[in-house]
Amino acid sequence: MKKDNKKAMVATWSDSETSKSDSDEEQVANIWLIIKEIRDNEITEHEGSDEVAVSALYKCFKDEVIDALISFANLEQKYLSKYKYLKKNVRELTQENLVFEKLNNDLHDRIETLENKKLELQTKCVSNKK
């Protein structure tokens, strides 16, 4: 059916070239109709090949997708091992921090005890001098 329309438009186009009665507007309209028909034919031709295009794209990109998935899996393993390493380090550092906090508290207590003893001794010294 579209071929018949195209032939009719081409015939109309041919007639308009020979006939001086057609206006410029009719010629422009005929040109647009021919262009539209050509575009419609191109779209119709491509619509039938969608399945082939999708299949071709699938085949072309299948290897690339597989390579990308393998790369992502490798990156996941790499980052998972880094995550485990860092998590272990955080645990160890937390334990170390607790040890240092306890040591710091013990040292503050010792300093306080020593300062108290110093004050006692100074007080005794001052008392003995009198």
Is residue 53 situated within a structural domain? no
CA–CA distance, 45 with 55 (Å, rounded to integer): 17
My answer on whether 64 and 41 are in the same domain is: no
pLDDT at 64: 75
Query: pLDDT of 24-83, one tens digit each?
Result: 667 666 676 776 676 666 555 555 555 555 565 566 667 777 777 888 899 999 999 999
Neighbouring residues of 88: CB distance < 8 A, sequence distance ≥ 6: none
Is residue 54 situated within a structural domain? no
Residue 5: CB atoms within 10 A of its CB come to 13
My answer on whether 30 and 68 are in the same domain is: no
pLDDT at 57: 56
Domain count within the chain: 2
Range of the domain at 103: 60-130
Given pLDDT bands bounded at 50, 70 and 90, which one contains residue 97? very high
Q: In this structure, which amino acid lies at residue 27?
A: Q
CA–CA distance, 47 with 41 (Å, rounded to integer): 10
Is residue 22 situated within a structural domain? yes
**What is the DSSP code (8-state) at residue 20?**
T
Which tokens is 51 given? Answer: 């399945």
pLDDT of 108 higher than 80: yes
My answer on whether 107 and 80 are in the same domain is: yes
